[in-house]
Amino acid sequence: MSALAILVVTMASPLLAQETLGEPEESVIHYHSSEGLADPVALLQKRLTDGAVKLRFDPVRGYLPALLEALRIPSSSQVLVFSKTSSQSEQTSPRTPRAIYFADDVSVGWVPGGPVIDLAAVDPRRGPIFYTLEQSTDGPKFARPANCLQCHLGPKTINVPGLLVRSVYTASNGTPLAQVQGFVNGHNSGLEERWGGWYVTGKFPGIHLGNIFATNLEHPEHVELSSTADVTDLKNRFESSRYLTPHSDIVALLVLEHEVRMQNLITRANYETRYALEDRAERARNHEPKDFSGSKSGTSSNADGKLSEWEEQRIAAAGEMLLEYMLFRNEAPLKRTIEGTSGFAEEFQNGGPRAGNGRSLRQLDLHTRLLRYPCSFLVYSPAFDALPQEMRNYLWRRLEQILTGQDRSGTYATMAAQDRLTVLEILRETKPEFARWLEK
């Protein structure tokens, strides 16, 4: 099981645990195969094998510094979890929190004294792939544990191999006592429900569950929240010099939480479309009658016939879930201005494509919402681009309807006209496939 805090898994019901996709699903996705993997860790392994890159072993932090450099992960992304909610719970505590470093498609988990570094790397077609890297001077060797999906496949990951951020009430020794009721993985939950079991640095004149311990074992939810705000560094809480920075940046946490669910929804959209296409292919192999009813423009396929009504509905359901989250329709408002401490916000905003006037989907707001322009920057990710054409066609058609104001249904009624226009303009200039769609 991966020990990333981004993949924190606590007190999961054994009845829900799975270690693999079902046989029919695996026959379509080939999740456990290593053939053709193109995630950042698999690509790094190829570079190591070819001798194009080497990972230097640091006597204090092992492969961590070299690994972050090779994967282009900024140290400013560091966030720290102190709850014992990972496979390396023996090393993790409030005195030795687990550090998570992340970019758009890869995350690295490290704890002082831990025997391995844990990684989650997104393959464009299969979703997150989980690895470990042994902290050994014998040379870097990535391994792919067989049991990761026991925790990373289930309802909380939308029933695909996925990523998790948890919020739990935690004792002063790091023991998780209870999950925070109502917390939803992603940008959906209010800040007052977030970051139980995490350190949080930043300026925020509000309340959250970071930086505190539960003292009432019978009612761990009875915690004092007044001391959680405006922690600017963590030097007085543990030996922070062992870490790359003394921060667990609140802005990095906000971005991480958005990314986690967004990626899970992209993975789900990929899988659901491929399952639907396999159903169609199976009908063709069996010479079953094709049901053309309910055909929707933009999802029709080629080669061996149109999708059935059920298959189109399957694609549409996954696409609508992705769109709603991608356009921040269910984002919990920030209510108060947030400021980070590590410089992560500046580095994050410098990435990604920009429209001609400098506008970017990575520009932060941090006053009332996470992003200035409400559309996920993961629209540029390799995983989004690898969605089957049938799903991409569906998304482009619906985006055109939403962003041009044709769709004013309940979900999008509150999306401001200026937001629709700005997102439309940015995507038209920075997403060539969408621009071609609009020109049809």
pLDDT band at 5 (very low <50, low <70, confident <90, very high): very low
Question: Residues 272, 340: one domain?
Answer: yes
Give the integer Cα–Cα distance in Å for 256 and 191.
Answer: 14
Choosing from 201, 220, 249, the residue where a domain stops is 249
H/E run at residue 431 = none
pLDDT band at 9 (very low <50, low <70, confident <90, very high): very low
Question: Residues 274, 151: one domain?
Answer: no
- What local confidence, expressed as pLDDT, does residue 288 receive? 67
pLDDT band at 18 (very low <50, low <70, confident <90, very high): low
Residue with token string 């925070």: 180
- What local confidence, expressed as pLDDT, does residue 303 receive? 44
Give the integer Cα–Cα distance in Å for 42 and 58.
Answer: 22
Question: Residues 235, 273: one domain?
Answer: no
Choosing from 249, 283, 303, the residue where a domain stops is 249
Domain of residue 261: give its range. Answer: 252-439
- What local confidence, expressed as pLDDT, does residue 301 receive? 44
Weakest mean pLDDT among 125-129, 272-276, 280-284: 280-284
Does 426 reside within a domain?
A: yes
| DSSP secondary structure code for residue 97 in this structure | P
Residue 307 backbone phi and psi in degrees, to 5: -70, 145
Question: Residues 226, 279: one domain?
Answer: no
pLDDT in tens, 287-300: 765 444 433 344 44
Question: Residues 213, 316: one domain?
Answer: no
Residue 426 backbone phi and psi in degrees, to 5: -65, -45
pLDDT band at 305 (very low <50, low <70, confident <90, very high): low
Question: Residues 243, 287: one domain?
Answer: no
Domain count, the chain: 2
Question: Residues 47, 72: one domain?
Answer: yes
Beta-carbon contacts of residue 94 (< 8 Å; ≥ 6 apart):
82, 172, 173, 174, 213, 237, 238
Residues facing 409 on adjacent strands: none
Q: What is the separation, in whole angstroms, between the first and last Cα of the chain? A: 47
pLDDT band at 283 (very low <50, low <70, confident <90, very high): confident
Does 7 reside within a domain?
A: no
Question: Residues 27, 165: one domain?
Answer: yes
Compute the residue count for the chain.
440
C-beta separation of 73 from 346 below 8 A = no
Does 274 reside within a domain?
A: yes
C-beta separation of 227 from 210 below 8 A = no
Question: Residues 156, 228: one domain?
Answer: yes
Question: Residues 206, 312: one domain?
Answer: no
pLDDT in tens, 149-167: 777 778 888 899 999 999 9
Four-point Cα dihedral 325, 330, 335, 340, nearest 10 = -20
Q: Give the Å distances, CA to CA, from 366 to 202, 252, 338, 372.
A: 12, 12, 5, 8
pLDDT in tens, 197-250: 999 999 988 889 999 999 988 899 888 775 556 798 898 999 999 999 999 999
Question: Residues 262, 243: one domain?
Answer: no
* Strand ranges, E, within 163-320: 168-170, 176-179, 198-199
pLDDT band at 54 (very low <50, low <70, confident <90, very high): very high
Question: Residues 330, 372: one domain?
Answer: yes
Choosing from 249, 270, 286, the residue where a domain stops is 249
